[in-house]
Amino acid sequence: MTVESTTTAPTSGPDFTELGHGTAVRHLIHCPPSWDRYLLEAPGSSEEHFVLAGELPTAHPLFNDGPGHLHDPQLLTDTLREIGEFVGHQYFGVPLDRPGLFHRFALDLTDTAPWRTATAPAPHPGRAARLLTRLAVRPTHSLAGVPRGLEFRLEAAIDDVVCATGSAGLVFLMPALHRSHVAQSRRALRAAPADGPSYEESAWPVAAAEVGRRSEANVVVREDLGEPAAPGRLSTWIVPQPGSPLFAGPDRGSLSALLLLEGMRQSALLAAARSGAVDVDRAVLGSIDVRLTGYAADDLPLHCTVLSGEGAHGREREAALTVTQNGRPVADARARVVQDQDSWGLGNGLF
């Protein structure tokens, strides 16, 4: 990452790359309200502002795996996943041994037009579109000047056109407390009664095209063979991918956040596509609001239930998602799957 300020010469450091695949370098720029405390090397105690700038990736194994009509907004969720802990440790004085865990995330696309991969005329022919994300970060529940959590607000723009807003919450845990929570959760998962949905190893992955992907290796949801079909309801299994570097977690005994979010994204798109509401090749999550309610082990499948309803406009679907593991709650989310209307000649892409 390159860390620089808007008022002084840049300070060089390592660059962020997409999941270590080197497909797009991004630079984190700190825009402090005052430099007084930095002269004293004091950590932040109030809201700090950052800008994350770089080109949209063109060869990422997940975010560029699709029909190619729209960029993947999940880039923004991954942005926060990558920098959340770093910001706490580097700028707010959180000890390096305290892991940061996100407990909520919300994202709203305000305009689909900038997310299209091809516009005519292209604003900057010959180069990839630029994604600029502005972040406001506020410490919460400070003890002796060290925050126990961070609250994020974001605004994203592609080629200077604002196209998304969002927020997130991150909590930092003492190492011993985190290890204890993970161990207790794993014991409870294995002791849970088998009265919930039962995963069958013979369950097959859904077709990649039904979830907006092209590579079968990126499909993380499977059909729920034991759940009868019902109007407005879909059940899937989100299955960890053994040995996949793409969906590998941080080696803390819990499930990869990217795998969980991608599983919910795929489940919501699948439900909308099978309802006949959208063409999944030109559909996107127009909004998602996720609340993480429990630990998820990295070696057990998760059950996802999607309850769908019609949205406010014709080609969209509202969805409520509930994710459990061995009957224990993991996450709840509300999502809105929308059709990019311009691809149908029905407008300018505004929701």
Q: Per-residue pLDDT tens for 91-114?
A: 999 999 998 889 999 999 999 999
Query: How sure is the predictor about 2, in pLDDT bands with cuts at 50, 70 and 90?
Result: very low
Percent of the chain with pLDDT over 90: 46
In 3D, which of 15, 148, 181 has the Cα closest to residue 82?
15
Does the pLDDT of residue 264 top 50, yes or no?
A: yes
Q: What is the pLDDT of residue 255?
A: 77
What mean pLDDT, rounded, does the chain reach?
80
136's CB contacts (< 8 A; 6+ apart) are: 47, 48, 49, 152, 153, 154
pLDDT attached to residue 8: 32
Greater model confidence, 10 or 147: 147
In tens, the pLDDT along 222-260 reads 988 777 667 789 999 999 776 676 777 665 556 788 899
d(CA 334, CA 246): 25
- Separation CA 182–CA 188 (nearest Å): 10
Number of Cβ within 10 Å of residue 337's Cβ equals 29
pLDDT tens-digit series, residues 269-307: 999 998 887 899 999 999 999 999 888 888 788 999 999
From residue 351, alpha-carbon distances to 68, 234, 240, 271 in Å are 21, 25, 34, 20
Confidence of residue 125 (pLDDT cuts 50, 70, 90): low
> Is the predicted pLDDT of residue 207 greater than 70, yes or no?
yes
Distance CA 351, CA 338 (A): 8
- Region 56-63 average pLDDT: 90
With vertex at residue 222, the alpha carbon angle to CA 217 and CA 223, rounded to the nearest 5 degrees, is: 145
Question: ∠83-69-53 over CA atoms, to 5°?
Answer: 25
Average pLDDT over residues 180-190: 68
Token duo for residue 224: 């729920």
Residue 156 has pLDDT above 70, yes or no: yes
Quickly state the pLDDT bin for 9 (edges 50, 70, 90).
very low
What is the predicted pLDDT for the residue at 231? 76
Rg, C-alpha atoms of the chain: 21
The closest alpha carbon to 65, from 218, 207, 205, 210, belongs to 218
Higher pLDDT, 126 or 46: 46
pLDDT for 58 beyond 90: no
Given CA atoms 302, 305, 311, 314 in this order, what sign does their dihedral have?
A: positive
Distances (CA, A) of 36 to 41, 50, 209, 312: 9, 17, 54, 49
Structure tokens at 232: 């407005």
pLDDT at 198: 72
Backbone angles phi, psi at 208, to 5 degrees: -55, -40
Highest mean pLDDT among 5-9, 131-135, 178-182, 277-281: 131-135
Residue 118: predicted pLDDT: 73
Q: What distance in Å separates the CA atoms of residue 308 and residue 268, rounded to the nearest whole number?
A: 8
